[in-house]
Amino acid sequence: MLAKRIIPCLDVKDGRTVKGINFKELRDAGDPVELGALYAESGADELCFLDISATLEQRRTFAELVKEIAKNVNIPFTVGGGISNVKQVGILLEAGADKISINSAAVKNPQLVTALAKQFGSQCVVVAIDTRLDGTHWLVNTHGGTLATPLMAVDWATQVYNIGAGEILLTSMNHDGTKNGFALDITRTISEKVNIPVIASGGAGTMHHFTDVFTSGKADAALAASIFHFKEIEIRDLKRYLKQKGIETRI
């Protein structure tokens, strides 16, 4: 069995790490380069840096920040935010990113997923799916969670898998920042539909929540932010706990 991955996420706005609840009420959580280096030393398997306002502000993720991150971490990291074409991805990978994450641009132009996979390999292409439960349907949202679409999350996940995505980063907007646990049902449904890793995001609050998402949710990796940023859970302690529960992790 492949080891389950623990991935701290740094949502970056105006050069600072921020964290909110349900994509709102953002508060400062520190310098992204310093936090990234700290997590790399603390046992994180990977890192994820998302420039959360880049699409809304119609600008590109800053390659200079990526270069600084690359100098200070020794584990794989994914960069996302405002990426809309092959050229931008080439710049970010050259600056030191290992993977890129696209969301809004993929919904607008699904062929971009295929183009990126052909140019750089599927292993570099993470499709982020921000989804909100609307009645009985999990719908895809874009533009930092501000724009609802009619796309069903399961259908969209299946589509991007078929056209070249190497991983799916699935965030439940209903659960984001609540610390009440991951969205297990939608995570499990998508994990069973696609034959690529699914990273679960949104709702981590306790170590047991990670056990749930790896077992009931069938996720391959779990991403969290505030519980790590504000020292509520230490990554090495979490990995030891998961080992005790029979869940394989890299320690």
**Tens of pLDDT, residues 118-150:** 999 999 999 999 999 998 999 999 987 888 999
CA angle 174, 58, 200 (to 5 degrees): 30
Catalytic residue (one of 130, 176, 212, 220)? 130
Report whether 78 contacts 48 (CB < 8 A). Answer: yes
251/243 Cα distance (integer angstroms): 9
32/179 Cα distance (integer angstroms): 22
Residues 155-173: pLDDT tens digits? 999 999 999 999 999 999 9
Residue 109 has pLDDT above 50, yes or no: yes
Residues 178-203: pLDDT tens digits? 899 999 999 999 999 999 999 999 99
Residues 6+ apart with CB under 8 A from 170: 129, 131, 153, 157, 183, 186, 187, 190, 198, 199, 200, 201
Residues 6+ apart with CB under 8 A from 90: 119, 120
The pair of three-digit structure tokens given for residue 22, joined into one six-digit string: 């349900």
Q: What is the mean pLDDT of the chain?
A: 89
- Higher per-residue pLDDT: 119 or 67: 119
Whole-model pTM: value is 0.91
What is the fold of 5-244? TIM Barrel (3.20.20)
| 11 flagged as catalytic | yes
Residue 61 has pLDDT above 90, yes or no: no
Residue 15 has pLDDT above 90, yes or no: no
